[in-house]
Homo-oligomer: A and B are copies of this chain.
Amino acid sequence: MTGKKTSVRHEVKSSVKDESLIEKRRDQMIRGAVKLFREKGFHRTTTREIAKEAGFSIGTLYEYIRTKEDVLYLVCDRIYEEVNDRLSQLAEKQGTVDGLKDAIRLYIETINDMDDEFTVMYQETKSLPKTALSYVLEKELEMAGLFERMLAGCSEAGEIRLTEKEARLGAHHIIVQGQMWAFRRWALRKQFTLGEFIEMLTDQLLHGVAGLQREGEAT
């Protein structure tokens, strides 16, 4: 539907040739970086700390990246990869409210599992170099697009009634609520379990705050 696939992957150069080694080392690196970024933020984390946490020397770190910002980009990229992997199982059931509910559940659960990564991503995104930033933002728009099409599908199937704009805002709403679960957990998890949160969220999205009818509708 969105024909344009402009998102050119922002390649991170490595001076190491062995692709599988690159994969392995970057894995270590990302794992370490996420932990540190979560604790102290991108700017307060030093490259030496990342290397140490990853289990190798500063020299080795720089065999696999070019700049510190590359690490941040790698982290962001990894997150989208994983979220997309998880969400891609939802291709079927398009156009049903049940399918939408499943998607929301899956999305929030994914965030719940990866909340360090998400928090990092939403708080440090602006430190990305220009080209990496636009790649990441595009990825996010793709994700929003996925929910937008689901909502539009439900509307076409007649299960709910939505204008195009409403579908767009609804998609945005879902994305944002997911982010909220990640980076407002200091407030939310004292009061809600994961299950409660998902249920209430879905409920509120579909029905709004209880007891009110849409204007112009009969009781």
Contact = CB atoms under 8 A, between A and B. Distances in A.
Interface of A: 41, 43-44, 97, 123, 126-127, 137, 140-141, 144, 151, 159-162, 165-166, 168-170, 172-173, 176-177, 179-180, 184, 186-188, 191-192, 196-197, 200-201, 203-214
B165 A192 contact: yes
Binding site secondary structure of chain A: helix
Contacts of A209: 151, 160, 162, 166, 170, 205-207
Nearest to A134: B186
Closest 10 CB pairs of A and B: A208-B208, A207-B208, A161-B211, A43-B43, A160-B211, A207-B214, A161-B210, A176-B180, A206-B212, A206-B208
A160 B210 CA distance: 6
Given A126-B41, A209-B160, A165 B196 contact: yes
A132 to B, nearest CB: 15
A209 B184 CA distance: 24
17 contacts: A44-B127, A141-B187, A144-B187, A162-B211, A165-B192, A168-B191, A169-B204, A172-B180, A173-B177, A173-B204, A203-B208, A203-B214, A204-B208, A205-B209, A206-B208, A207-B209, A207-B213
Contacts of A43: 41, 43-44, 127
A41 B127 contact: yes
A186 B134 CA distance: 11
Contacts of A97: 212
B204 A170 contact: yes
A151 B211 CA distance: 12
Contacts of A203: 208, 214
